[in-house]
Structure 1
């Protein structure tokens, strides 16, 4: 059995589950082509333009761990606008990730996405949280060495995000066969995101030197303190994505934008949900 065949076999159960979810998604039986959908309360929500797709419909073997729909993030609670654990991207970005995934599968790895399209209301949630200097419940894990009053000045939080344009993704690499990520328990003891891999929150990613969303200079992709296997893992992610048109943000090893962007000047606010991409 070839390495690619072994990798595909290791992902078969995951893919089948994801495809089942896709088939059962709300509204999957009939897209309407409208620009807004009505929620159960009768309030209309914006929907995504036709150029957006759910990544699962393009590259179902890519693992998804959408952090902002859970309380395990720097805010400490589910983030506004994340209605379902779903990666939505512009179609060119999704297809590029599909090509990157095939490259990694041949080497015994899989991509795993943490965040994709991010609605403006989520960014607004981050801004409100950053201005509340009393709320530091997640500081021990995500920004242990950064004064919260400096999150804007140091560039960790901003009022606009490239994620809201639809071609930016946060992701990592997982060695196959993928081990399950242990559940996060709200209130559990938090460990700094830059602690050794065996001590910080373990999420089945290869060792990148820090956890995801670690507000620390160690998260800079080419930080000279990151060496050996951890540096090699970062370079594997960076080079694989560069080959399919993604550019890395130097301050965050996990952050990549597909170029050219379809919507370089538009910040969308439709919610992260199946309804946004199949109920239009």
Structure 2
């Protein structure tokens, strides 16, 4: 049974039928090390327009032998608030070795990795990676999802040529189908013509 969503929103898998969902903030496999507030189901939610654009990107990638995997989509404002509480708890560093080995936790806000607002909360942004359709394996992008550091940036020279090429394949498909990249995160794409750019929704993902 599908839970009712606000007008203009949809479960991504209802539009992108072969999408792979690995919603990191529903699990403890994320930089907080715990399930994040606002995620009561491991399902990706987005605006209808964003999901339709993602379907186009998925169809393009499928021709080249790739699938898309979603790590995050719509993100409730209460989840962003959870991030802020975490980053201000300087005693909690259990995930440092994996997600921010080269930066002090008290520098994450200053360096722009954590902030009070997220484009995800307007419902038209996705965190994604590529999967080889033949092997089922994720492509090597050079870092884990949500790695805080220069290695996550587009154009970095700290990764291999193969990792750079994998990022380019993902970026090309997303940009050609209406999404914008941001410099700091190889996984993040937001719809250029999003319907609610000034709204931070707070409904729970169920």
Normalising by structure 2, report the TM-score: 0.97
* Cα distance in structure 2, aligned partners of 1:254 and 1:26: 27
State the structure with more CA Rg.
Answer: 1
- Select which of 138, 149, 156 maps to 1:216: 149
Asked if residue 228 in structure 1 is aligned to residue 185 in structure 2, the reply is: no
Aligned to 1:144: 101
Deviation at 1:114, TM superposition (A): 0.2
Asked if residue 242 in structure 1 is aligned to residue 175 in structure 2, the reply is: yes
Structure 2 segments unaligned to the other structure (5+ residues)? none
Q: How does 1:19-30 map to 2 (within 5 A)?
A: 25-27=1-3
Deviation at 1:225, TM superposition (A): 2.7
Aligned to 1:207: 140
SS of the aligned residue for 1:112 comes to strand
SS of the aligned residue for 2:70 comes to strand
* Cα distance in structure 2, aligned partners of 1:110 and 1:272: 23
Aligned to 1:253: 186
* Cα distance in structure 2, aligned partners of 1:26 and 1:240: 29
Deviation at 1:49, TM superposition (A): 2.6
Deviation at 1:226, TM superposition (A): 2.7
* Cα distance in structure 2, aligned partners of 1:145 and 1:259: 32
* Cα distance in structure 2, aligned partners of 1:26 and 1:251: 35
* Cα distance in structure 2, aligned partners of 1:261 and 1:100: 16
* Cα distance in structure 2, aligned partners of 1:144 and 1:126: 18
Aligned to 2:124: 167
- Select which of 42, 47, 56 maps to 1:85: 42
Asked if residue 110 in structure 1 is aligned to residue 43 in structure 2, the reply is: no
Asked if residue 126 in structure 1 is aligned to residue 79 in structure 2, the reply is: no
* 1:5-28 Cα deviation digits (max 9, x unpaired): xxxxxxxxxxxxxxxxxxxx355x
Asked if residue 75 in structure 1 is aligned to residue 37 in structure 2, the reply is: no
* Cα distance in structure 2, aligned partners of 1:124 and 1:114: 19
Aligned to 2:55: 98
* Cα distance in structure 2, aligned partners of 1:249 and 1:74: 20
Aligned to 1:62: 19
Aligned to 1:191: none
Paired residues in the alignment total 206
* Cα distance in structure 1, aligned partners of 2:135 and 2:75: 26
CA 1:79–1:178 in 2, change beyond 3 Å: closer, same or farther?
Answer: farther
* Cα distance in structure 2, aligned partners of 1:247 and 1:26: 30
Normalising by structure 1, report the TM-score: 0.72
**Which structure 1 residue ranges, 4+ long, deviate > 3 Å from structure 2?**
none
Deviation at 1:219, TM superposition (A): 0.2
SS of the aligned residue for 1:254 comes to strand
Structure 1 segments unaligned to the other structure (5+ residues)? 1-24, 32-47, 180-203, 274-280
